[in-house]
Amino acid sequence: MEAAGVKPDTITYNFLMTSYCKHGKMESAKELYRSLGEKRCSANAATYKHMMAELCAHGDLDGVLEIFKESFRGNKVPDFRTMSGLAEGLTNVGRVAEAKNVVAKMKKKFPEQLLSGWMKLEKELGLNSDSGDAGTRAECISEETPAEAEAATPKTLELEDPPSDETECMAEASTSEEMPRDSA
């Protein structure tokens, strides 16, 4: 691609990382993610969302937490569904204190009118207790049996398909200038 004079952008790299993940090549996806800076590309919210969802689905919660911290520092936090999937995944494996920390950071980040979703999530996952030492999600929610507890999977974390229309992708790209559009 570059040999032909075309420089890949964040959207191109996001597609490549997602493809690696879908084909079970997690190390290749992580390596590409780590090399974005060297390629003079920066991660956007979609980059974080897809990498976090795939790492969570593959059980790499430490990797997910690292990407969450990077996204938070870069002020490009993924959507509510991805973040609630992270909190749920942590709770499911007994890492309740870390789940509480994620939710607390997200509650601080968003305005008051958006807090109801986080408060509902805290209640559903049993994170609103004072103890950071609670058991698994199934143990925290009395009306749900362990068999009913839904684990964080690609299906539970995945949102809509990526935009297929070129103009939608262009709107997602992080630029400081408005991109011209055809009037056709």
Task: Give the residue with greater pLDDT, 124 vs 51.
Answer: 51
Q: Closest Cα partner for 48 from 22, 23, 12, 82?
A: 82
Domain ranges of the chain: 1-60, 79-156
Q: Closest Cα partner for 79 from 57, 46, 118, 128?
A: 46
Residue 139 is predicted with a pLDDT of 38
List, for residues 128-178, the tens digit of each pLDDT value: 765 444 444 443 333 333 333 344 444 444 433 433 333 333 333 333 333
CA distance 13 to 33: 8
In the predicted structure, residue 30 carries a pLDDT above the cut 80: yes
CA distance 49 to 37: 18
CA distance 64 to 62: 5
Task: Give the residue with greater pLDDT, 122 vs 17.
Answer: 17
In the predicted structure, residue 110 carries a pLDDT above the cut 90: no
List, for residues 32-82, the tens digit of each pLDDT value: 999 998 988 999 999 999 999 999 888 899 999 999 999 988 888 888 888
In the predicted structure, residue 95 carries a pLDDT above the cut 90: yes
CA distance 109 to 78: 12
Q: Closest Cα partner for 108 from 83, 141, 135?
A: 83
Q: Which two tokens stand for residue 142?
A: 């009395």
User: b or e along 68-101 (b: 16 or more beta carbons within 10 Å of the residue's beta carbon)?
Assistant: beebbeeebbbeeebbbbbbbbbbbebbbebbbb
Task: Give the residue with greater pLDDT, 106 vs 44.
Answer: 44
Q: Closest Cα partner for 65 from 85, 92, 37, 36?
A: 85
Q: Backbone dihedral region of 24: left (phi > 0), alpha (psi from -120 to 50 degrees) or beta? A: left
Is pTM beyond 0.85? Reply is no
Q: Which two tokens stand for residue 133?
A: 């030492």
